[in-house]
Amino acid sequence: MDKWTKEDHLIISELIEIYAGTVVEKVLIFKQQLWNIFDNLKLKEGAYVKRNTLAEEVWWRNSYHLRKVMKFLMSSKFKYMITYLEDPRVPRSSNSENLNSVWRQIESARFGFKTDRGRLDHLKLYQIGRYLDGKFP
């Protein structure tokens, strides 16, 4: 969404109007709410406030899939999802396929990472090298 033009944003507004009262409308609104949490904020406290505000709303509750997403967002793993917010050096959007590809490569035992701990340590080192220019925070 960070690369969207004004026309793209208008299309979403039009789609929300067209699909008013349907699950499509809810998904589009939910997507914008997630965008506001993960991309528009700079502080972790703001992310918690936005997440809790979204959790208190009721419009998404009759959708099984949105309930599952909210359950995940309300879990203890949320703190890991927002660790980048206070570090401006970490890009807000990146090529996640590249990271997935790297993870698939290090999952293989032939690369010498036979344990989950070894794989996670290597992934952390990769992220530090890739996103933080090799500088530990």
Would residue 49 count as lying in a domain?
Answer: yes
pLDDT at 21 exceeding the cut of 80: yes
Q: What's this model's pTM, rounded to 2 decimal places?
A: 0.57
CB-neighbour burial class of residue 54 (10 A; exposed 0-12, middle 13-18, buried 19+): buried
Indicate whether 22 belongs to any domain: yes
- Residue with the two structure tokens 């809790």: 52
Phi, psi (deg, nearest 5) at residue 74: -85, -5
Cα 102 from Cα 123, distance rounded (Å): 8
The Cα 135–Cα 122 span in angstroms is 15
Assigned token pair, 126: 């990769």
Mind listing the pLDDT tens digit for each residue in 81-132? 887 787 766 666 555 666 667 666 666 655 566 777 877 887 788 878 877 7
d(CA 71, CA 55): 9
67/122 same-domain check: no
Q: Are residues 14 and 67 in the same domain?
A: yes
- Same structural domain, 73 and 105: no
26 and 68 within one domain: yes
Task: Answer whether residue 55 is part of any domain.
Answer: yes
Can you give the residue range of the structural domain that contains 115? 96-131
